[in-house]
Structure formats: C-alpha cells, structure tokens
Structure 1
Amino acid sequence: MDYRSTVAEGPALSQVNADALLLVLTSDQAVTGDAVLDKLIKDAVAADDFALKAGRALYIHRPAGVKAARLVLLAAADAKPKSYKAAVVKGLAQVKELGAAHVAVASGKGLALSADHAKALALGVADATYVYRHTKPSASKAGALKKVTVVSTQADAAAVKAGLAQGQAVAEGVALGRELGNLPGNYCTPTHLGNEAKRLSREFKHIKAEVLDRRAIEKLGMGSFLSVSNGSAQPPRFIILRYQGAAASQAPVVLVGKGITFDTGGISIKPGAGMDEMKFDMGGAASVLGTFRAVAELKPKINLVGLIPTCENMPSGSSTKPGDVVTSMSGQTIEVLNTDAEGRLILCDALTYAERFKPAAVVDIATLTGACVVALGNVHSGLFSADEQLAGALLEAGQQSLDTAWRMPLDEEYGESLKSNFADLGNVGGREGGAITAAVFLSKFTKAYRWAHLDIAGSAWKSGGAKGGTGRPVGLLTQFILNQAAAGKDAIAPQLAKTAKAQGKATAGKTARKVAGKTARKAPARKAAAKA
C-alpha cells in the first residue's frame, strides 16, 4: 500500500483529488470549514440520512462541488485514535467493492490528528485490505485499493507523516505474522520458519539469523524441547535472531516465541473438531519474526534478540508419553503429565538459553493455554509478570498500539499444583487457573533476569467466518521496543541498578552483595545450563 499525507484546510477539503473521500466527524464539532462539505453534512443530518453516532456512515455518489466521485461521511465515537481507526475501516468497507484505487481520509475540525492517529489508520487499512492468497489461487491477484492519502492541517502535518511511516512498518510486520500463521501446517514447518528468519537477515543488514538443527539442540542439552519433537517426522529447529541498533555493551531485550507449527496434542491427543486451527500454534514465533521485520524498517537504537524453539507435536511410537520425565537445559527435571501442555516444554529451554545474553528483559510470547481464552476471550492478550515496571511498560505499549494486554496474577501459591513425586515439577496443574499455573511453570526458568509472559491463545487468530491469523501482538511488541529505545539505555535496566542509583553508591554495593549472595545459593542449575 502506498501511504501519503497532504495538507488541505477549509475550502480546499472538497477539492482533494482522489477516487473516494472519507470524512471522519465527531459529535462535538461536525464541521470542516469547507462550505460545500458542511452543507452536505447539515442536509444529511436534517434528513435523518446520517447521525453523529459512533458507527454511522453515509455514502454519497458524485456529490455536487466535491472533486472526489465518492464521498463517505463517517461518525467516530470520539477523537481518540481507536475511534478514528474504527471509522476509517467502516469507510473502507463502503468503497471496497467500488473500484476506488485512491482513497483520501479527511477529518472535521473536532479531530486534530496526531502520529498515533496516522499509525492507527495505516494499521486499520492494512487489516481491512489483507487477503490470504498463498494456497488459494482463486483469490483476486490484487485488490483495487493502491493508495491512501491522509489529509491534515499544516499544524498536524509533521506528526501525521511520522505516524504513517511507523504505521506502515508495523503493518508490514503484522502482515508477515498473519501470513505465517495462515499457512497450512504442511507449508509452514519448522524448516520454513528457519528459512524465513534467514530471508529476513538477507533483506535487512541489521538482522543476523542462526538456525540450529537437532544435533546442535541436543548439544545444548535442551531435553525438554526435544521431547516434544520426538513424534514428528519434521526436524526441530532453534532459531536465533539478532538486531543490533545500539552499542554492543548495551544489554538486549530478548523476545522468545513459541513455534509449534502443528499441535495434535501428542499422545494426549486433542478432539478432532477444530484441530485444523492448531496450525496457528506458532503465533508466538510469527510475532517475533513480524516484530523483527518492523524493527528492521524503523531502526531504533536498541539491541534485540529473538529466540524461536520450533517443532511439531505429533503422536507416534516415538512420542513422549504421559508420565515420562525429561531433563531441561536448566537441569530441572519435568514430569510430562500431559503431552498437550507442550508449549511450556519448548519455551523453558529457550528461556534458559536467554540467560547467556545477560538481557535487560525477556518477554516470551505463546499461544499457551485455552484457559486464557476462557478468561479474556479474544480482546486482550494475557500478561503475566512479577516485575511492576516491565508489566507497566508492556501494558502502556499495548494501549498505544491498540494491541492490548490484560495483567493476570502470578502468585507463588499457584505453583503448588505443579509439584511432582517423580521430578522437580510437573508440566501441568489442575484445571483451575490453567493460564496462571502455565505462567508459574515458565517463571521457574527465569530467575536470572526480568521477565514477562504474553499468552496470546485468544488474540493470535480468529475462528469462524473470519478465520485467520491476526498478527498480534506485533504491534504491542514493536511499540514496547520503540518506547525503550526512546527512553535510552537505562529504560529497562535491572531494577536493582535503578534502586541503587537512587540510594547512592554505598547502598548500591551493599544491596548488590546481598542479592548476589541469594542468587548464588539458588543458582546451581543455572550455572550448569550456562556451561552447556
């Protein structure tokens, strides 16, 4: 999509040159300063053809005095980016089948545009015009819409231009995530995800990609990860992505994405109904790749690492069985009570591997539990973290990007159900609080750094008539990375360092020694993993 911005105010609005003009209005000030457009609005409201209520739209064909052949009046709930985006998407639906190749979007005086408005528009347009074609030759080869121009005042022009650039980059990342999710499982294999990572590294010089095969994974001691892949003919892959936008000395943010390219449940096999949607179980991996795609375009001054453990979970004579005990890279043993709780088994080894980067923070992203879908539906991703600052930063990024998360509890008491008579811990607890116990399981492998977990089982794809990947949470993750880069190298430094700086050097040394002593007493398993 070709995104442009232009300045037009007052009488110039009705003379904007486009195939269709979408005019977004708010109830508090439904005027534009253009006499032609204002009369059309007034007449439409008087005739009850249009009302200034959220979701209302009116299509007018070849209106007198308007240069665009198609005009759509749109009512937004308010002047917020979310409402603006919803109105634009509604307007696109009005002209989608009419052959408009160039759509201009203008707004009334009550709606001053910011960078967030422009970014929201770009994401809304990309979502509304996305068509999956990879394995569907009957799909149209190209949509009619080619160009979108945002019309703003001179005062808003710079912000709109910046927002469009950012929105377009994020939209490209979201589109990559959607496309990978939508590919059938016989196309999107672990090998395909590895090849996609390599393709990104060829396209963008700031991205480096390394793809490890089974032998290399075995050498790392990732017994938990490999136990999930045992029943599949598809070889597993461990993908390591690096983006360096800051000094090598700056601690990176690490994103860890679950990459189960198809999940039958293994020996604990799932019901057949709806199992086709288990091709979306690599949504976490897709979001990491999509975020790297967006970050490579935007080039923020930050270091970023992506880790993707990817394999299939299939039943066969060589599959891991319920009751089997596996040894993770951390040295902790795990009793596999349910082979359909496989995501945490591949993530735990990747989370242990993340230690070697001495990260500023680690965020894992996974279509992890049906329990999270029951709790939150498909509106919010589930956010779990014991770190107040990190959780707050992710929640804020979600609000800014309109890719929201909701914070869930992570109390230690939930871990009681993970106790095992035959291993350090079991891979599942009871039915109650399943999303929380899954997060608590992962927390056992994250003691060395600041960590957050995003359960995207409800947000990574849609079912029903709109079945398909959403590309979430690429928007949230990219905004989080941009925010941290803007805040500078200390934005997500360890909490200890921030506390110490405030208290003074003497207190810093005392606190550091105390924490180091506690860590040393608790970390024999982590030391063994680091040596591996």
Structure 2
Amino acid sequence: MTSNFFTPAAENAWREQDWDLLVLFTTAGEWPANKVLADIAQAGKLLDARVGNTLTMLAAPQVSGGRMILAPVTGTDNEYQDVRLFADMGKQAAALAKAVGARRPLLMLDAKLDAAYKQALQVAALGFAQALWQPLEKREAEGLSAALDAVGVLADEQTVAQLSAIEAGKYLARDLCGTEPERMSAPAFAHYSVAHLQDSGLTIRVEENRDALERDYPLMSAVARASFQVARHQPRVVRFEYQGEGECQHTFLLAGKGVVYDTGGADLKIGGAMAGMSRDKGGAAAVVGLMKSLSELKPKGIRVIADVGLVRNSIGSEAFVTDEIITSHAGVRVRIGNTDAEGRLVLADVLSHLRIKAKECVAPELFSVATLTGHVVRAYGGYTAAVENAVAREQGVANSLNEIGESWGDPMEISRLRREDFAKIRDVSDAADILSSNNAPSSITARGHQFPAAFLLKASGLMDNTGEDELPLPYTHLDIAGSATEGDPVYGVPTAAPLTALLQYILSKSSH
C-alpha cells in the first residue's frame, strides 16, 4: 500500500464523480444532518426497515458513484463503550465496499458526538484500512495488488496526511509481524525494514557481525546461540534514527522485541503452544512501523532513536539453558530461570545501549515494546499494558499515553511496579545478581507481566537512573502480547498496536 492511500476530499466531494461509492458513518437511530443524504436514507428505510440501524447499501443517484453505504454506529451513548465502535464499523464497511466491487470509496462522517469521539472519522478510516490488509505471503504468491485504488476521506489535508502516515506505518508493521518465520527471519526482517525505509531520511544501521553481537549484546546472543549455526537464522540489531528539523526539545528512545520465532529454546514449548510464535516479533514490527510514520510526517523539534533486537530462539546442541549465568551489557549477572523467557533478555541489552545514548540526549524518554507475557493476556485480554518506572510514573507518562490512546482507539491498561516484583527476580543462590524468570508459565504466575519490567530495569542498568540521579530517565514498558493481533488467537490479523498511541504521544511533544 502506498503512503497516499488516503486522499483528502473537499466538503462537497460526496457529490462528485471522482469516487465510486460513498461510505457514510452516522449514529444509529439518527438521520444525517445533510438533508440530501438524510432523504436518501429515509427513502431507503421505506424499503428496508434495517436502514439507519445496521450496515446497508442504498441506491443514491445524487451522490458520487450513485450508491451509498450507510454505516450507523450503535452504542455511542453507552459510557462503557469507546471510539473503537467506529473502527469496528469501518471494518464492516470495508468488507462490504470490497464485496460490491468499489475501487475508490469516499468516507464521510455525519453525526453528533461528544468529545470522547473527536477522532471518530480517523478511527473509522483506520479500521477500514485494517480490514483491507492482505498477508504478505498471499500477496507475493498470487501477485496481488492493493485491494482498492484509493480511499477518500472528507477531511482537511493535514488530517488525511496524518492518516496516510499512520496507515503506511501500520501496513509495514503488519507485514513484519504477520509473516511466517522463514520469509521474515531475522536477516529478512532487517532487509525488509531497510528496503521500505531506505529513502525515508532516517539514519539506519544494521549490526550483523557475530563478534560485535556477542560482545555488545551478550544476553541476546545467548538466546541466538543455537541460531548462529544457520546463516538465514542469524540475529540482527537494527537502529533507526529520526532527527526533526529545528532545535530538539524531546528525545524518544524505543526498544523493540523481535523474536522472529520462539520455540521456547531448551524449555521447549509443547502441547501446541509453539503455533503462532512467528508473531513474537510484534514489538519490533510496531517500532519499525512507527519510524515509517514519523519519516512521512517529519515532525519538528524531536529526535527518535529506535533499536530492534531480531533473533530466533532455536533449539539444538548450542542452545542456552536454564541455570546459566550470563553478564548483561550493563554488567549485571543474570541467572537464566527459563529459556522461554527470552524476550526480556533481548530487550535488556537493547535498553542498556539506549540508556547510555539517552544520557547525551535532550529530555529523553525510554520505551520498550514487546509481546512479552501470557500473563498480560490473562490479566487484560486484548489490551496493551503499560508498566512504568518511578520517574515515568511521576511524570504521568502512561496516563498521558493512555488518554491519547483512548481518543484514537488504541487504549491500554496501566500497571504499577511494586516491591514484590523486585523480590521475584532475586537469585536465592547469591551466585548471580538477578534471576531472569520463575520456571512456570507467566499466565499462572502472580504479577506475571509486572515483574519482567523489574527485571528489565535491573538487567539494563536503568535502576541506576532514579529520581535522585542527575539525569533521571523515565521508562515505560509496553506489553502487547494481548493487543498485537486480533481475531484468531494464533493467526489473527496483526494490529500494529501501540503504534497509533505512541505516534500521537510523540507528536504531542513536537513543535510542528
């Protein structure tokens, strides 16, 4: 999909013939304020009692393309609902538009809504685009082009430019996350990312040298130990950097977990639990997609540095095992508690490098994004969980991020780090500084998504940057194990969460 998939449309574009279908989003039980469109809907209701209450197709000679999908959204008066109602309807409308053969639909909103729905049209449009994505393997095997030629949005150019940038990033992220582990191995993931960002203006560096990786990313290299033997499975670390015009006011440093396939390692996943583990790269995918969106929007006054650790957690005679003690990049001795808790090892080394980089940056904020634990799914279902360090909590990072995410249909739950989380990573043998994990599934472990954040703080050296430090570093861990895909729990469609919320949060600090 090209970055100009969404096209701005003028106020009266619904009358023009540049579009072959009008998709009108309204609220159920209310007619549009536009009299022409209201008359079309009311006439349709004489023939079909569902009109105005459910998704319907109407003959509409007065509008562009001569036909209209009326997409009434139900539930906007329910205080437990949110703007994702419009994303849901956008997906339904996209399926119908595609089924009836539309190639250039125009999206329009005509509804009375309160402030919680201020981004309703944008959310509907992103839902519409989400439903049109086709897996990369299918597109390559069948030579498929984009499902539609273009989608018009009745909004101003700035709004639509932002929508196009978001969708361009999400499309790339869906490809990276959703593609099978041979087509999107660690080297292939790095190559695909660089190929789609090579003309973006970003600075990109790929580390693939084994000596450098083992020296600078010792925990990640332990995870990769069995995969080094196979060239196409060897690990990579990719750094993307965006520097906006003007004086830098804020710096954002992002770490993405890119476990391109997770067998569990020596603690092998059994009983069918390995299926879907090609999606364990959703964090890295979302981070790369975010950099794509930023490269298109080019906000001023900010700097964004993103590192993604790409690795296959393979089994074999070289595999790392439970009980090993490995010193992290930050100099912390880590006892391995379970080889299936590999993502936090990848992130710890990547975060350590970002921690050092942050000390020379203006107003730095750190984030990690990862499909990290089954516990977060047990605790929060399909929501992203935000776990902050004390500095970020004091600054209200997660609260701000969640408030923005709520308005854009990318909400999250906020968890709090507590003393019990640090107690869980104590190595009782006293031979190591910390323990990477317990030896039970996180989904049945109390505080199973919170204590990994405590590990990340310790293993990366971020615990040294407390509120009393000269440069306190706010850090927020985002666990997207529940939100990275939707639909089928194993092979559902990638969502690119939390790209939209993170992007809007970053833009809110920009001077553009």
Q: What's the TM-score, normalizing by structure 1?
A: 0.81
Which of the numbers 102, 105, 119 marks the counterpart of 1:103?
105
Q: Is the aligned partner of 1:253 residue 2:252? A: yes
Residue identity in the other structure for 1:30: W
Taking the aligned partners of 1:195 and 1:70, their CA distance within structure 2 comes to: 43
**Which residue among 400, 408, 420 is the counterpart of 2:415?**
408
Give me the identity figure in percent. Answer: 25
1:337: which partner in 2? 337
CA deviations over 1:360-409 (Å, ceiling 9, x no partner)? 1100001111111111112x101100322222222123223311211012
Matching residue's letter, 1:423? A
3-state SS, counterpart of residue 183 of structure 2: coil
What secondary structure sits across from 1:180 in the alignment? Answer: helix
Gaps spanning 5+ residues in structure 2: where?
466-472
CA distance in 2, matches of 1:439, 1:213: 29
Task: State the aligned residue count.
Answer: 472
> Residues 338 and 427 of structure 1 are in contact (CA less than 8 Å); yes or no, is this contact kept in structure 2?
yes
Give the one of 151, 169, 175 matched to 1:173.
169
Deviation track 1:107-144 (CA, whole Å, cap 9, x = no partner) reads: 33636999834432442232111111435656471355
Partner of 1:284: 283
Give the equivalent residue in structure 1 for 2:127: 124
Equivalent residue for 2:49? Answer: 49
Q: Deviations over 1:289-329 (max 9, x none)?
A: 11110000000121010111221111111111111111111
Q: Does the CA-based 8 Å contact 2:136-2:179 persist in structure 1?
A: no
Which residues of 2 match residues 53-452 of structure 1 at below 5 A?
Answer: 53=53, 56-60=54-58, 62-63=59-60, 65-66=62-63, 68-77=65-74, 78=76, 82-108=84-110, 110=112, 116-134=119-137, 139=142, 141-143=144-146, 145-151=148-154, 157=155, 160-200=156-196, 202-220=198-216, 222-232=217-227, 233=229, 234-246=233-245, 252-301=251-300, 302-357=302-357, 358=359, 359=361, 360-378=364-382, 380-386=383-389, 387-388=392-393, 389-420=396-427, 421=429, 422-429=431-438, 431-444=445-458, 445=460, 446-447=462-463, 448=465, 449-452=473-476
Name the structure where helix makes up a greater proportion of residues.
1
Alpha-carbon distance, 1:165 to partner: 0.7
> Which residue matches 2:497?
472
Q: 1:202 to 1:409 in 2, by over 3 A?
A: same
- Displacement of 1:251 in angstroms is 5.5
Contact kept in structure 1, 2:207 and 2:213, CA below 8 Å: no
The answer to whether the 8 A contact 1:206-1:245 is kept is no
* Deviation of the 1:147 alpha carbon: 2.2
Structure 1, residues 195-251: CA drift from partner, whole Å, max 9, x if none? 23433552112333342422112333x322211111113322222221111567656
Q: How does 1:15-34 map to 2 (within 5 A)?
A: 18-27=19-28, 29-34=30-35
SS of structure 1 residue aligned to 2:56: strand
More moved, 417-426 vs 20-29? 20-29
Q: State the Cα distance separating 1:38 from its structure 2 match.
A: 2.5
Q: Deviations over 1:319-361 (max 9, x none)?
A: 1111111111111111111000011111111111112222511
Change over 3 Å in CA distance of 1:210–1:92 after alignment to 2: closer
CA–CA distance in structure 1, aligned partners of residues 161 and 210 of structure 2: 40
How far residue 104 of structure 1 moved from its aligned partner, in angstroms, is 1.8
What SS does the aligned partner of 1:225 have? helix
Distance 1:270-1:248 versus aligned 2 partners, 3 A rule:
farther
Q: Which has the higher contact order (CA 8 A, sep 6+)?
A: 2
Compared with structure 1, are the counterparts of its residues 2 and 197 closer, same or farther at alpha carbon in structure 2 (3 Å cutoff)? closer
Q: Which moved more, 1:474-483 or 1:283-292?
A: 474-483
Identify if the C-alpha distance between structure 1 residues 205 and 475 changes in structure 2 by more than 3 Å, giving closer, same or farther: same
Q: Which runs of 5+ in 1 are unaligned?
A: 152-156, 489-532
Say whether the 8 Å CA contact 2:207–2:236 is kept in structure 1. Answer: yes
Give the superposed CA RMSD: 2.8
Structure exhibiting the larger radius of gyration computed from Cα positions: 1
Q: Secondary structure at the match of 2:432?
A: coil
SS at match of 1:258: strand
For residues 43-64 of structure 1, give each alpha carbon's deviation from its aligned partner in whole angstroms, at most 9, with x where no partner exists.
44456622544xx11212x345
8 Å CA contact 2:90, 2:125 repeated in 1? no
1:283/1:165 CA distance change after superposition, 3 Å: same
Shift of 1:279: 0.7
Whether the 8 Å CA contact 2:6–2:163 is kept in 1: the answer is no
Q: Secondary structure at the match of 2:254?
A: strand
Counterpart-to-counterpart distance in 1, 2:224 and 2:312: 6
Q: Which amino acid is the alignment partner of residue 333 of structure 2? A: T
**1:262-300 deviation line (CA, Å, top 9, x unaligned):** 110000000151423111111111111111100000001
* CA–CA separation in structure 1 for the residues paired with 2:283 and 2:254: 9
- Change in 2 beyond 3 A, CA 1:20/1:136: closer
1:494 paired residue number = none
Q: Secondary structure at the match of 2:148?
A: coil
Please, which moves more after superposition, 318-327 or 443-452? 443-452
Report SS of the residue matched to 1:146. coil
Q: Matches of 1:272 and 1:410 in 2, distance apart?
A: 32
- CA drift at 1:27: 4.4
CA deviation string 1:394-452 (max 9, x = no partner)? 21232233112110121122221211113111111362221111112112232222100
Offset of 1:30 from its aligned partner? 1.2
Cα distance in 1, alignment partners of residues 70 and 250 from structure 2? 49
